[in-house]
Structure 1
Amino acid sequence: VLLAYFSDKGSTFPELLQHLQDEEVQVLNFQLSTEDFAYKIKALLNNAALGMVPASVWDGTLRAHGGVIVVREDGEIVCYHLYNAEAFRNYLFNNTRMESPSATRHGYGTIYEENGENFIKLNLQIRFTK
């Protein structure tokens, strides 16, 4: 998914998974179906929305108890209760995209060496599409 995003194959998760589906060889290398990828992406988005933060190791504890309130672009307020978890995961999957800030301004996308190995510093954000 990251390779597809950084290769300009799309930025929304449905676009990126469509690319994976079109490129069956990539999916077969991981021995996962596109449905498996969709499930894992939805779980990541759900966890990020409900408590996972980059500053600490994720222990699986959700920080939202009961539900999440979302204000849609048209101003409508929607509440996703935890018993509607699949609807919430689908909402996140269909309404978020990957985004990376300016590589030159923030120093991302450069190759650096650490302990004799080369790495690329990437920065990625998940944002709502609207």
Structure 2
Amino acid sequence: MNCPKCRAKMAEMTIEGVDLDFCSGCKGLWFDKDEMAFMTEMTADFPNPQAARTVGKLTPFLCPRCQGKLEEILFAPPNQVLLDRCLSCHGVWLDKGELAKVEEIAAGFDNPRSKILRAAQQLTAKGYSLMGVRATDLPD
């Protein structure tokens, strides 16, 4: 599978029981439908999908999983974090740096010790540095 942004081949790794696709080129992450919800310990990938869609716009990028069109939508309005979601398979693409923003917002909805923080720590242990922050620098 190739990255929708930089077209580099993506690496698959299993973290917290979820197969994530990681781009070592641009540091983006691909979540298949409901994987982001599982990782953030939320009930859905997007906490308020109707509100998120009100600002949706098509991007020039294609889904790495099914080649469907990606739309840019708000993760949890009124927060201004725009994520890319496939119109066909509903997978979600996170650009470098968006993982921390999603984690921060998700912590306000559910358990602040979500699986996504542990995922960042496990990625760091495998030698990846996300968002310019190593998991050892993150608070307990």
TM-score range, shorter chain: under 0.3
Q: Normalising to structure 1: TM-score of the pair? A: 0.24
Q: Normalising to structure 2: TM-score of the pair? A: 0.23
When you count helix as a share of all residues, which structure comes out higher?
1
Q: Which has the larger radius of gyration?
A: 1
